[in-house]
Structure 1
């Protein structure tokens, strides 16, 4: 592993010994206990309840409230708001991943940013809830995403810092289950509070702050024992880059995540409007159906993720789970092109939940296993998160092209769904060529 210079100062203003440096950067081997795991999972759960409510439902609800009779304007508003926020997430995650790797505060290198980030996210969500124009809501979502990713980058790096390889798939599946359970909770909150958007945006952030701050204190985060080299402009630009030719396994894992995330957000960004325009439901009916469908999706996802994580750790295999899940998710997304009934929509959501549950149970563990330099986990997981955040920005801007194919009066959801399905399958194919991990 690459380590910072030995000559830097330690926290006690004395030179760190080689033994201290080696101990700090050594891969974790000690099993983490139930208390740590529970704190980690609960912080993930409430963090994503606050963040994913707007991402999955509330932005669409806000757009439909601002333009109640203009479906094209609704789609454009979602595109601007969701796209700008996701673009902010791309840069913020990488930058704060790098910053957290290099932070030398006495509180540790991850802990301070967990707290700072969650507070910034709350400010952005409050702006979204209290404003009613596209520019203002978009600015609020941008601030929220920057704050959220300032917390998320070090939060994800904890998996590499603290969790040994033999526990990674199981804990990865737990935090992924928590994230998707959060989407379910956020969906029901959005359904119940859709006529009180101020409360919907702001209230979930309060428990998010409490649980993230709690985890920050539980986290056994230590001060960096050596001072890293100064970061100049060239170094900052390199923050956004890991050479896929030099590290092909990392590059392939990046491509796989990018493609399945693009597939997922190409549809979920417009899920509520899909139910209104494609399945011919009223807005109230669409909210109810969406809540039920997310329940079905989440139950199948949680079951599949729990089983997948256990099997992956026991069999010491990652790739086969990711490959099959990506292909199945692509098939499920393509099935949406032919779905015009509520019962059919529920069936497809179950298929997609099964597929994505298997995927998330293993994917993060696979990524950590192929990191070029685990000592810089925050930076490299931040670069990897570009594959998760960039598609969320691109999907809202790309989707109107597919929705506009053919009639300008009727949005072409089948074209969008076929595009998403192809992306997911290609993501599975990319994973086949990873060599370091079985």
Structure 2
């Protein structure tokens, strides 16, 4: 089997064919479990810290729900985090080891990320909190870049829809885990007594960081051991050139327009979603006026509802896309519905309005996550640069989660909490329309 690739070979055409011929069925079967599990751990980090621990820590440091301080803490490390994905993606592309190209970086970044999370737990000022969060994001974007490259590396093209859905489960299931562990959910919402999870606030602070750090390390070990990467020592080695390395981060939208429009589409939909989601805690406290004693359980409940709806849509539509053989209509329709859902809390600023938004928005986001990865994988420019190109695409995935608190802070400062929703809806709508310009995918 040769690993020499023609310059214009696409990842979908070459990697998918290579995977069908060389991936053992047993290893592929394990990947059905290990890949989503590793992704769930990652989103437990993004949602657990970004949605709960970071705003809680900001409030502890400043003594108030300080949106500008939260924005500062998020902005400090945004640049580091944004470049982490393509940097580590390209490094993994160039890695040649008996453990493969991706596994060493998944494990190394998990270990370093756990250390950085432990340090962040002890941050005592907004400046140190922002710096430590930036370091965490930079390192863990390396984990994400190597992990997401596993799909185009090792999954047959005929299974892209199913695996796109499985990877998409990371967001809702990570959200559910974060909500149950850190916030808790009122049992009365489900006809039960007390609070489900929450653990009396035990993980709404330092212990939350320690737990997430441990989960990340365990998930990485399980993935690397049970779904080992292929030996990469026989792959061609290209001489290192700093100029080419730095130039590799740019993917020309003129030469690869489908890749460029797929990036724009994901960036818009994800940014619109996270502008509201990452401000849930302060939004419910100051806009919906939820009493302080009910705040964390209410956040947890809404996140769980949103996530369950996302899971339902993801599980149903991923295999359906494989069967139909089309993904673009699913991406477009879900983006439009997600944008419309964002108008609901603006028109109905109550807990009922937020609940309806989370149901409709969760279903739309689940539909989007079910097929978006399949579309992205089909427009990657070259199989030889899968890690780097997925790293570039992941800027549109991780970047909104990182930048959303900053942008939301500016929006709230300029127009109040009610301004979050129309801005987020407009951004999502741009993303949904962007997918129509992707010509090479049905």
**How far has the Cα of 1:174 moved from its partner?**
1.2
TM-score normalised over the length of structure 2 = 0.88
- 2:123 aligned to which of 120, 131, 135: 131
- Is 1:178 aligned to 2:170, yes or no? yes
Residue 78 of structure 1 is matched in structure 2 by 70
Q: What displacement does 1:352 show?
A: 0.4
Q: Does structure 2 retain, via aligned residues, the 8 Å contact 1:87–1:393?
A: no
Q: Which of the residues 210, 214, 222 maps onto 2:218? A: 210
Match of residue 53 from structure 1: 48
Extract structure 1 runs of 4+ deviating beyond 4 A. Answer: 2-6, 23-26
* 1:303 alignment counterpart: 312
State the aligned residue count.
414
State the partner residue of 2:84: 92
Please list the CA deviations of residues 207-234 of structure 1 after superposition, one character each: whole Å capped at 9, or x if unmatched.
3212211211222322142343233332
**1:348 and 2:354 aligned:** no
- 1:24 and 1:225 in contact (8 A); partners too: no
What does residue 28 of structure 1 align with? 19
For the residue of structure 2 that corresponds to 1:203, the secondary structure is: helix
Partner of 1:370: 379
Alignment CA distance shift 1:338-1:67 (3 Å): farther
What residue is the counterpart of 2:113 in the other structure? Answer: 121
Instruction: Provide closer, same or farther for how the CA distance between residues 195 and 435 of structure 1 changes in structure 2, counting only shifts above 3 A.
Output: closer
Query: Per-residue deviation at 1:163?
Result: 0.2
The residue that corresponds to 2:439 in the other structure is 435
8 Å CA contact retained: 1:121, 1:147: yes
Aligned counterparts, 1:280-291, within 5 A: 280-291=289-300
CA distance in 2 between counterparts of 1:309 and 1:39 reads 18
Distance 1:183 1:176 in 2: 12
Determine the structure 2 residue equivalent to 1:400. Answer: 409
Alignment of 1:334 onto 2:326: no
- Seen in structure 2, the aligned counterparts of structure 1 residues 5 and 377 have a Cα distance that, compared at 3 Å, is closer
Whole-Å separation in 1 of the counterparts to 2:215 and 2:419: 40
Rounded to whole Å, the distance in 2 between the matches of 1:262 and 1:392 is: 7
Residue by residue, what CA displacement relative to the aligned partner does 1:228-281 show, whole Å, maximum 9, x if unpaired?
Answer: 323333223223210011111111100001111221221122111000011112
1:226-237 correspondence to structure 2 within 5 Å? 226-237=235-246
Q: CA–CA distance in 2 between the matches of 1:174 and 1:389?
A: 18
Residue 250 of structure 2 corresponds to 241
Aligned equivalent of 2:32, options 26, 31, 37: 37
The unaligned stretches of length 5 or more in structure 1 are: 7-22, 407-411
Deviates more, 1:27-36 or 1:50-59: 27-36
Change (3 A) 1:195 1:431: closer
- Cα drift, residue 206 of structure 1: 1.2
CA RMSD of aligned residues (A): 2.2
Is 1:111 equivalent to 2:103 in the alignment?
A: yes
Q: In 2, distance between residues paired with 1:277 and 1:194?
A: 24
Correspondences of 1:152-167 after superposition (within 5 Å): 152-167=144-159
Q: Please, which of 311, 321, 328 is the counterpart of residue 319 of structure 1?
A: 328
The structure-2 alpha-carbon separation of the partners of 1:194 and 1:63, relative to structure 1 and needing over 3 Å to count, comes to farther
Picking from 65, 74, 84, the partner of 2:60 is 65
In structure 2, how many angstroms separate the alpha carbons of the residues matched to 1:424 and 1:194? Answer: 36
Q: Which whole-Å CA distance do the structure 1 matches of 2:43 and 2:288 have between them?
A: 28
Residues 272-323 of structure 1: per-residue CA shift (max 9 Å, x gap): 1000011112333221111111111111110101111011100011100000
1:146 to 132, 138, 143: 138
1:343-374: CA deviation from partner (whole Å, max 9, x where unpaired): 22111100100000000000011000111112
SS of residue matched to 1:229:
coil
